[in-house]
């Protein structure tokens, strides 16, 4: 989306759609009029052969790089075939058989954060800064930092050091500022109208840093700052929801590979069993371990995937009664089905008593009907 937003004149981008289907995510892309020998910018063989062959296209990519605050750098795995690029080396520019310019392969458009290879092997390929962070950072950043693409660039260490400094700036200034702004918003707006994901993204903070935001709010909660309890709960709920979503996707993938069926029944069963495992009032031992054990899914994923810094304190500190936390979740789930407002107060205990003991297929069908019955937004008429 970074290049899409620039509206580059003379460069065509493929139509793309992101498709989530039963735990799998696909990127569907339109067929382009490309052929062997059409590559004029970047590399398609891991840097062994580099291209910057068309001066006009090179100028366009230079303009795009400045707009995105990307640093020009020397690329190539072969010392005899190096090119100065203003984009990540594997962002490809082509001249199609129709004579038009095309740009594709955008997965590494933005620079990586400083990565801990012991925790995230190959993380420089996918743990990237957000676009608005990079655009607002005071100096351009190299999108190929920490990669083999700049092994022959004499300024490689400078590029990597700048990324390390930018990562520290994100961790120690941007994220704390984001936590402060979220706390201020909680004080002035209804919690049901606050999207944690939107607030983080507005500040250029990736959702993998939910744990860092949470730990900052936890300190404010210990200092009894107004709104800190609600804000920390919102952040923890967001992180837990994403852990469960990822777990559910994995379950659906496994079922899809085993069953190889188009019909919905076995996949609905997987969803129902997962919801009852997580939220049943008397869950099986596996369900208890999901929440309680430091080595099991919830706490492990929160620390590994979302930067929660303290396994031992994240639950009991902000949720002295873990049952209340589960009740908050049930309230939020019922909000999706019945339209009732989600609860963050003591009244959730009364509310949860009306909650069915287990989920059934009727719940999924009711949710499906609720979604399909929602009217699409009316198109605004444009005066000409």
> What's the pLDDT tens digit per position in 291-327?
766 656 787 888 888 888 654 544 444 433 344 445 4
Residue 133, class by beta-carbon neighbours within 10 Å (0-12 exposed, 13-18 middle, 19+ buried)?
A: buried
In the block, which residue shows the tokens 């509310």?
351
pLDDT exceeds 60 at position 45: yes
Q: What is the pLDDT of residue 308?
A: 83
Mean confidence (pLDDT) of the chain: 82
Helix H segments across 189-345? Answer: 196-202, 210-222, 228-259, 265-279, 285-292, 297-306, 314-318, 322-338
pLDDT exceeds 50 at position 337: no
The model's confidence at residue 333, banded by pLDDT at 50, 70 and 90, is very low
pLDDT exceeds 70 at position 338: no
> What's the pLDDT tens digit per position in 98-134?
999 999 999 999 999 999 998 889 999 999 999 999 9
> What's the pLDDT tens digit per position in 53-70?
999 999 999 999 999 999
Q: What is the pLDDT of residue 286?
A: 72
Nearest-5° angle of CA 357, CA 274, CA 205? 115
The model's confidence at residue 334, banded by pLDDT at 50, 70 and 90, is very low
The model's confidence at residue 344, banded by pLDDT at 50, 70 and 90, is very low
Q: What is the pLDDT of residue 367?
A: 53
Identify which has the larger pLDDT, 303 or 38.
Answer: 38
Average pLDDT for residues 77-87, to the nearest whole number?
Answer: 94
Distance of alpha carbon 129 from alpha carbon 113, whole angstroms: 6
Indicate the Cα dihedral angle 26, 31, 32, 34, nearest 10°: 100
Average pLDDT for residues 154-183, to the nearest whole number?
Answer: 96
Nearest-5° angle of CA 301, CA 306, CA 310? 80
pTM value is: 0.80
When mean pLDDT is compared over 3-7, 60-64, 189-193, the highest value belongs to 60-64
> What's the pLDDT tens digit per position in 239-286?
988 988 998 999 999 999 898 888 888 888 888 888 888 877 666 677
Phi then psi for 334, rounded to 5 degrees?
Answer: -65, -30
The token pair that represents 371 in the structure block? 């979604």
Summary count for the chain: helices (H), strands (E)? 14, 9
317: alpha, beta or left? (left if phi > 0; alpha if psi -120 to 50)? alpha
């Amino acid at each position: 989306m970074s290049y899409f937003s620039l509206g580059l004149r003379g460069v065509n981008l493929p139509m793309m759609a992101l498709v989530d289907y039963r735990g799998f995510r696909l990127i569907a892309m339109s067929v382009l009029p490309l052929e062997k020998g059409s590559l004029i910018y970047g590399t398609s063989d891991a840097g062994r052969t580099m291209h910057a062959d068309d001066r006009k296209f090179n100028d366009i990519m230079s303009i795009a790089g400045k707009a995105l605050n990307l640093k020009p750098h020397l690329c190539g795995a072969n010392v005899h075939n190096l090119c100065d690029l203003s984009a990540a080396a594997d962002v490809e520019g082509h001249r199609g058989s129709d004579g038009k310019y095309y740009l594709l392969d955008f997965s590494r458009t933005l620079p990586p954060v400083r990565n801990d290879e012991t925790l995230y092997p190959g993380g420089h390929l996918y743990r990237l800064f957000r676009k608005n962070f990079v655009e607002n950072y005071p100096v351009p950043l190299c999108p190929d930092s920490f990669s083999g693409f700049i092994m022959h660039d004499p300024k490689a260490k400078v590029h990597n050091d700048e990324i390390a400094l930018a990562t520290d700036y994100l961790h120690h200034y941007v994220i704390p500022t984001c936590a402060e702004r979220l706390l201020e918003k909680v004080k002035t707006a209804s919690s049901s109208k606050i999207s944690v994901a939107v607030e983080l993204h507005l500040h250029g903070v990736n959702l993998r840093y939910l744990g860092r935001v949470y730990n900052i709010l936890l300190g404010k909660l210990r200092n009894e700052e107004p709104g800190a309890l609600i804000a920390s709960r919102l952040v923890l709920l967001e992180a837990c929801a994403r852990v469960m979503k990822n777990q559910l996707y994995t379950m659906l993938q496994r079922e899809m590979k085993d069953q190889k069926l188009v019909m919905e029944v076995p996949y609905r069963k997987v969803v129902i069993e997962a919801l009852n495992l997580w939220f049943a009032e008397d869950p099986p031992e596996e369900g208890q371990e999901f929440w309680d054990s430091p080595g099991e899914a919830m706490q492990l994923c929160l620390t590994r995937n979302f930067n929660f810094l303290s396994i031992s304190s994240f639950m009991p500190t902000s949720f002295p009664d873990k049952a209340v936390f589960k009740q908050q979740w049930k309230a939020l789930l019922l909000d999706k089905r019945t339209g009732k407002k989600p609860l963050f107060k003591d009244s959730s205990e009364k509310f949860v008593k009306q909650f069915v003991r287990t989920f059934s297929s009727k719940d999924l069908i009711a949710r499906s009907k609720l979604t399909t019955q929602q009217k699409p937004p009316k198109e605004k008429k444009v005066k000409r």
